[in-house]
Amino acid sequence: MNEQAKPKFIPKIVAARYLNNYLLEIQFADKVIKQVDFEPFLKSSYHPEIRSFLEIEKFKQFKIHNGNLLWGDFELIFPLGDIYSNSIMKQVSTF
């Protein structure tokens, strides 16, 4: 399957673990495992709340909630399809 192609049904995230820097290993309910690097997204954003996750200890405090990967109280969350296809850089806030 093309890495950029998104399946019609996006399985929920069942596990995630920190690897290093801003790289996470994410496992989906369909047993697919992806390594997703969040650094390009975080570094290219101008939004101060998003950039605050460049603090590595804050970045490491992710959690899985209802099959989604999020930080804080929904301060940072990505669409499942973007994580599954490893395309979180498709849009970056320029505010």
Average pLDDT, whole number, for the chain? 88
Q: Each residue of 20-66: pLDDT tens digit?
A: 999 999 999 999 999 999 999 999 999 999 999 999 999 999 999 99
Comparing CA positions, the residue from 28, 24, 32, 34 lying closest to residue 13 is 28
**Residue 94 confidence class, pLDDT cut points 50, 70, 90:** very low
Which residue ranges form the domains of the chain, and what is each CATH number?
13-89 (3.30.2020.10)
Q: Is the pTM of this model over 0.85?
A: no
Spatial separation of the C-alpha atoms in residues 38 and 18, rounded to whole Å:
11
Q: What is the pLDDT of residue 93?
A: 43
Q: Evaluate whether 85 touches 36 at the Cβ level (below 8 Å).
A: no
Spatial separation of the C-alpha atoms in residues 12 and 20, rounded to whole Å:
23
Q: Each residue of 8-27: pLDDT tens digit?
A: 778 999 999 999 999 999 99
